[in-house]
Structure 1
């Protein structure tokens, strides 16, 4: 099963479960995490259901490409990391 993990920085604001899911697309995998903690949705997705601008997702070490539809494929052994992009100066 694909494993979805969230950056520890999000833990300061909301519980971030590690999720093992049979999902074959990123959106379905994220929905599995949101089912465990609905508050997490607002930190990851905007009100349009698109990935927030300050969030980056890596699937098997590669940056997700579909930031709106979240249709990037997940394999049975995929590792997904959801991170907050750093900004400032």
Structure 2
């Protein structure tokens, strides 16, 4: 099963889960996660269901391709990391 890992920075506000999913794409994995952890949705997605500007997702070491569709394919053993995008110097 693919694993979704959320940044520990969220731990200040809520329990940070490590989620296993059999979803075959990123959108399906996120939707399944948000069904169990609805508070996470507002952290990761905006009101239109798109990835928030301050969030970045890596799948098996590669940045997700589309912030709107979130249709990146997941392998059964994919590691997905959801974290805040950092900027500045």
TM range (shorter): over 0.9
CA RMSD of aligned residues (A): 1.1
Q: Give the count of matched residue pairs.
A: 89
Alignment gaps of 5+ in structure 2:
none
2:21 corresponds to which residue?
21
1:12 corresponds to which residue?
12
1:80 corresponds to which residue?
80
Moved over 4 A (4+): none
Cα deviation digits, residues 26-73 of structure 1 (max 9, x gap): 011111211121010000000000000000000000000011010000
TM-score (structure 1 length as normaliser): 0.93
Distance in 1 (CA, whole Å) between partners of 2:60 and 2:71 is 15
Q: Which runs of structure 2 are paired with 1:48-87 in the superposition (5 Å)? A: 48-87=48-87
TM superposition shift of 1:88? 4.4
Alignment gaps of 5+ in structure 1:
none
TM-score (structure 2 length as normaliser): 0.93
